[in-house]
Structures are given as C-alpha cells and as structure tokens.
Homo-oligomer: A and B are copies of this chain.
C-alpha cells in the first residue's frame, strides 16, 4: 500500500482536519521522497516555498500524521534525542550508521514467534516492536 499526497489529503479531511497550506507543504516534502527527514529538515525545506511556516506547525503536523499512523520514526543511534520521520510503507526496520546517520530500511524480521512466546510468558499484550541495528556504513568505514 502506498500513500500519496492526494490520498492523505482526503483522509485528513475525512477525519475533520483542515488542509492548510502549511500542512500541504509538509506533506509535499514527505511524499516527494523516500528519504528520512528530521523535523528541522522538513521545516527548512518547507520554508523555501512558504517562508512563514513555523517549526511548531511542522512538529504539530508530524505529530498528527504519526497519530494517524501515516508516519514512523527512527531513533538515531538508539540514544539521540533527535528523531526522523518518513512516509510509511510496509512494516519494516532500520539500519542506522552511527557516524553519518544514514538510514537503510529492511523488511524481513521474524519476530512473530518470539512475540508469542513472550506474550505467553509475561501476560503482556504485545502491540509493537522496535528493532534497529546500528553500525558503520561502507562509506564511513573507508574514511
């Protein structure tokens, strides 16, 4: 399943959200690429077209989209406070370079069995998992 700008727009309206130029700008950026962006990066890009969007609005829009399940986040290096958002695709995970921040996606993860086992052992109702590998990418290794 692939979300397009237009599609998201109509979903928002359906949910009672207004489609403002600022939100449009954020959506355009996120939908125009498969890259990952930090809120600040999105903010900077959005300003090029629309010089008076505020960073606050970018945060608000991203939060809204995330709450609707349209975005997901990466935790750089597992420790940094900054986080990154991207337009979603299927369930997938991340491989993050701790030198340069490059993020590579991968889809295969086979945690269903482990999840079930844990659920049985602990009584938890498990509704999500976070799996990230970190390391050093090829380019950074060469330096």
Q: State the A residues within 8 Å of B (CB).
A: 73, 75, 78-79, 81, 83, 95, 97, 104, 106, 108-111, 114-115, 117-119, 121-138, 141
With contacts A75-B75, A108-B114 taken as known, whether A134 is within 8 angstroms of B130 at the C-beta atoms is yes
* B-side contacts of A123, CB under 8 Å: 137-138, 141
With contacts A78-B75, A114-B108, A123-B137 taken as known, whether A129 is within 8 angstroms of B130 at the C-beta atoms is no
Assess whether B125 is in contact with A136, with CB atoms less than 8 Å apart. Answer: yes
Please, how many angstroms separate the alpha-carbon atoms of A136 and B39 in the complex?
29
* B-side contacts of A128, CB under 8 Å: 78, 133-135
* B-side contacts of A73, CB under 8 Å: 78-79
With contacts A75-B78, A81-B81, A130-B78 taken as known, whether A122 is within 8 angstroms of B136 at the C-beta atoms is no
With contacts A75-B78, A109-B114, A114-B108 taken as known, whether A127 is within 8 angstroms of B136 at the C-beta atoms is yes
Please, how many angstroms separate the alpha-carbon atoms of A43 and B121 in the complex?
33
